[in-house]
Amino acid sequence: MSNKPAADNSPFRFCVAPMMDWTDRHCRYFHRLLSKHARLYTEMVTTGALLHGDQPRHLDFNAEEHPVALQLGGSEPADLAACAKLGAQWGYDEINLNCGCPSERVQRGSFGACLMAEPKLVADCVKAMVDAVSIPVTVKHRIGIDNNDSYEFMRDFVGTVSEAGCGVFMVHARSAILKGLSPKQNREVPPLKYELAYRLKQEFPRLTIVLNGGIKSSDEVRQHLAHVDGVMIGREAYHNPYWLASVDRDFFVSDRPVISRDAVEAALAIYGAKQSLNGVPRHSIMRHTLGLYRGLPGARAWRRSMSQQPAWATL
């Protein structure tokens, strides 16, 4: 008997997390070559950057990236509504609100993980976005912040925000320590408490609960999918990207053959040549692919060639 979970084509079943400085449009194009169904997320974009900055630079993406979500950072309902509308007009499939980033810079902007202390404000933000767009509005959050790390704290946060129209929650199953730990430490030091996300799904069966944090294998994904609706993979998807090539076969209703690394290289060569016409440096694309041959003979040579060789024709 197979240990594969029941097939499900929910777009939230397997997601690649938004990661600052990593999940730009070139990274997402690369990941989409590997999986047609994994849901992809942008880096967090602040409302200020969108409303007062270079909108095409922050919002442009490749049509092949769908389904793709725009993650926003902010805490002003009107600004978030305006940015959500921009995202919908640009063609994104989802707007995600960041309530999980613990960095001091983000805290100074009064958004990210510190918003978990203000569920009514988050609910106002969500309602403003829901009223502005017809695509899903979702929230990514932690299980708690600082000493507020009880299940009841998270439950009340999710309950309040869901009443404003949010039906999908991405739960990073660690607390965020807002003072004293760096963002990197906040991804490693606070203990993972998957059982709290499981309990959340039990208490809110109508909500879509997606689990994030420390997941590194398909076997772990299967175990979690027995309790929640989806998983969100972060660093492992970036450092070991070829894992994504088996996602459609293992977790979705898909007969698509697993793409070979050679085919990925060929597609990247075509993509890179087109992007070079727009002035995109080769390194901006290929830096995301350094883990393509992870664990195989020749992996070091691949990393070296992607870092040193300048011409697309050498792929």
Cα dihedral: 132, 134, 140, 145 (round 10): 40
Residue 305 near residue 282, CB atoms below 8 Å: no
Classified as helix, coil or strand, 107 is helix
CA-nearest of 207, 249, 259, 311 to 38 is 249
Q: H-helix or E-strand containing 76? A: none
CA 40 – CA 62 distance, rounded (Å)? 12
Cβ burial 218-252 (10 Å sphere, 16+ → b, else e): bebbbebbebbbbbbbbebbbebbbbbbebbebbb
Active site residue 101: yes
Considering the candidates 15, 27, 101, 114, report the single residue annotated as catalytic: 101
Name the burial class of residue 63, with classes exposed (0-12), middle (13-18) and buried (19+) by CB atoms within 10 angstroms of its CB.
exposed
Could you give the residue numbers annotated as active site? 101
